[in-house]
Structures are given as structure tokens and as C-alpha cells.
Amino acid sequence: MAGKVERPLSPHLQVYRPQMTSVMSILHRATGFALAVGTVMVVWLLLAAASGPTAFATFTWFCNTLIGKLMLLGWSVALFYHLSNGVRHLIWDTGRMLEINQAYRAGYFVLASTVILTLLTWWFSCPYKGGIE
């Protein structure tokens, strides 16, 4: 029955010019997925902590490598973007802010909030030494 008919699938992304609204929409999905993959790091952290000092040292060693630091930076940006834009989503779900100009304004707000929260996080994590610097 179903599945036999080859119906076209929408949306046909390639025929659209990227706009701020569409790019921010796909970024929500991309960051959500990246965060989901990133949960593996949280699992590693907790499992290492439960296993003992040696395993924990391996974890902090990895976080201090260049790749580790880039991952942490990427994770924080992704989290703050997804969180800020998630709030925009939740507001939309109540039927508010759906006008184009409001969506754009809220979009700029999301971008600003992402940058500010990320900078604050890294600013405050700097003075604390001994592990991830």
C-alpha cells in the first residue's frame, strides 16, 4: 500500500536562496544534533570520575589538547545557540512573535545572546587553573 508511490518530498532546499530565517532554523537542528553527539563527552566525564583518578586524568588531558579545547568551545557555542533559539521556538509555540519582522528581531537577539553567553562562560572559566585552562 503506502511506500509504493514515489511522492516528491518537500521542502526542496536547493531551490531556495538562504535567508537568515532558514539558516537559523537549520542551525537549530545542527546544534541539537551536535549536542546530542556531544553527550558522549559528558558520559566520559562521569564514567571517568566514577572509575578513579587515572581515568579522570585521561579525560582532563584530552580536554586540554587542541582538539579537546576546540570541542569544548564548539559545544558551548552550540549549547548557547540552541538554548537561546530554543526559547524563541517556545515563544513561537505560544503563537507569539510570528510576524516576519519580529522573527528577524528575535533572531538577532538569539545571535547576540549566543555570543554574550559564550564569552561570559569562557571569561569566567579563565581564572580557574589546574585543569582545563
Partner 1 sequence: MSEKGTESIQSPLGKVKGLGAAHNGVTHWWHQRITAITNIPLMLWLVWSVVHIPAWTHQEFVIWLEQPVNSILMILSILSVFYHAALGCQVIVEDYFHVEWMKITKLIGIKLFFFALTVTCIFSVLKISFGV
86 in contact with ligand HEM (CB under 6 A): yes
Q: Which of 23, 57, 65, 89 binds ligand HEM (CB under 6 A)?
A: 89
Q: Which does 67 bind (CB under 5 to 8 A by kind): partner 1, ligand HEM, none?
A: none
90 in contact with ligand HEM (CB under 6 A): yes
CB atoms within 10 A of CB 99: 9
47 in contact with partner 1 (CB under 8 A): yes
12 in contact with partner 1 (CB under 8 A): no
82 in contact with ligand HEM (CB under 6 A): yes
131 in contact with partner 1 (CB under 8 A): yes
57 in contact with partner 1 (CB under 8 A): yes
CB 113 within 8 A of CB 80: yes
Q: Which of 8, 18, 53, 95 binds partner 1 (CB under 8 A)?
A: 53
Residues 81-120 that bind partner 1 (CB under 8 A): 83, 86-87, 89-90, 93
Report the chain's terminal Cα–Cα distance, integer Å: 59
CB 110 within 8 A of CB 88: yes
Measured CA distances, 125 to 49, 61, 102, 129 (Å): 20, 17, 34, 9
Residue 2 zone, left/alpha/beta (φ > 0; ψ -120 to 50; rest):
beta
Q: How many CA atoms lie within 13 A of 38 on its CB side?
A: 18
Q: Which residues sit at the interface with ligand HEM, rule CB under 6 A?
A: 28-29, 32-33, 35-36, 39, 82-83, 86-87, 89-90
